[in-house]
Amino acid sequence: MLIVVAAMVLAPFFSGEAREREYFLAGPQTKKFAVILGGAAADESYGAQFRQWTRQLHEILVRDYGYPPEHISLLSGHGDDPAAPHITGSCRLETVVDVMAQLRQKVRPGDQISVFFVGHGTSDDQEAKFVMVGPDISGGRFAEILAGFSDQDIAVVNTTAASQPFCAALAAPGRVIVCATRSAAERYDTVFARYLLQALESRNADRDKNQRVSLFEIFLYVREKVKAWYSEQDRLPSEHPTLDDSGDGHPVTDPDPIRGEGRLAQIAEIDTLTAFLPDAFAGGADAEVLRQLTARVRGLERSVILLRNQKAEMSRKDYRDQLETLLIDLARSTRRLDVLLAELRSEDR
């Protein structure tokens, strides 16, 4: 019944080629990867800040969100950060290309890749770029790199100034793009990265209190924090976070899932399945049962979210019947998961 309901929910959401697969599924074997790009800095004060932010992001993803260190590629400045023993290399164009090519060999269909840009951004009348050691990379060039990941779910968070055209170039069906600015004219250094880390730390952005953080929740959290910061500083805002998950290349500052903006971002979660499992249950048959049941619960929650966004497009009876089916299944699956966890924790004492 779950598969049938999910298919009915998603059918009107995507069209054409995009209907061939569903995005951001929480399968038991789904793996998540992250690429953190810490760009070149205008001076050492910026460089130190960028290195700190990228190190902290790496630490949070491993500690709180269940990412194995080998699933994170951290490229930072010249690649010589002594405080980051896990650094992959320098943030150069050739290194980015090589790392993404290596990642392409690791991932499987349905895996999720999140890419974070931390540093300076520039733009002119032609295009926007992310500042790196050596030649900078444009949104168009990075879009070419991402084209090799058509079977994976892609999330991009660009925290830099003047990044809107860069982000617009990355838009495609099935991708979630979060950007620090709404235009190329917003050229001043941003505070976005600071609040991105705050959103992830201790799951501060978790609005629905389900112990997980989605890209939509991150966007809403950062947008409000950025707005409050400029108000407190009594400054005219020079950055306005935007989001695009419709694939049209037009990021918006006020996405509304009811209108179709933000639906993918709501189900694009940063957390891995293993982040849910206590360390003591990391291996063996019990862990596999937990993974399967956790994936089922998340899949049902995902379908509920998508169904609620489709309410206005459905008959009242169809909506009620499908929602009831999902909620009953979700309640039963959640109960089984809670009982199993309680039993395992009791045995572990």
From first to last of the 349 residues of the chain, give the pLDDT tens digit: 333 344 444 443 333 334 457 999 988 999 999 999 999 998 999 999 999 999 999 999 999 999 999 999 999 999 877 777 789 999 999 999 999 999 999 999 999 999 999 999 999 877 999 999 999 999 999 999 999 999 999 999 999 999 999 999 999 999 999 999 999 999 999 999 999 999 999 999 999 998 899 999 999 999 999 999 999 999 999 999 999 999 999 999 999 999 889 999 999 999 998 776 655 555 666 778 888 999 999 999 999 999 999 999 999 999 999 999 999 999 999 999 989 888 877 776 6
Report strand pairing: 175-179 vs 72-76: unpaired
Residue 224's pLDDT is: 98
By C-alpha distance, which of 89, 6, 3 is closest to 310?
A: 6
DSSP 27: -
C-alpha–C-alpha distance, residues 236 and 186, integer Å: 11
Phi, psi of 174 (to 5 degrees): 90, 0
Residue 290's pLDDT is: 86
Q: Could you tell me the sign of the dihedral formed by the alpha carbons of 197, 201, 206, 207, in that order?
A: negative
Residue 1's pLDDT is: 38
- pTM for the whole thing? 0.91
By C-alpha distance, which of 295, 334, 50, 308 is closest to 196?
A: 50
Q: Residue 131 contacts by C-beta under 8 Å, 6 or more apart in sequence?
A: 39, 40, 119, 120, 121, 122, 160
With vertex at residue 318, the alpha carbon angle to CA 316 and CA 323, rounded to the nearest 5 degrees, is 95
Instruction: Quickly list H helices, the chain.
Output: 2-10, 44-65, 93-106, 139-146, 164-170, 192-200, 215-232, 263-267, 284-309, 316-348
Contact yes or no for 128/119 (Cβ under 8 A):
no
- Report how far apart, in Å, the C-alpha atoms of 339 and of each of 276, 331, 342 are: 15, 12, 5
Structure token pair of residue 347? 């045995």
Residue 279's pLDDT is: 58
C-alpha–C-alpha distance, residues 256 and 264, integer Å: 11
Report strand pairing: 175-179 vs 153-158: parallel
By C-alpha distance, which of 31, 40, 85, 29 is closest to 59?
A: 85
DSSP 61-87: HHHHH---GGGEEEEETTS--TT-TT-
C-alpha–C-alpha distance, residues 193 and 180, integer Å: 9
Residue 10's pLDDT is: 41
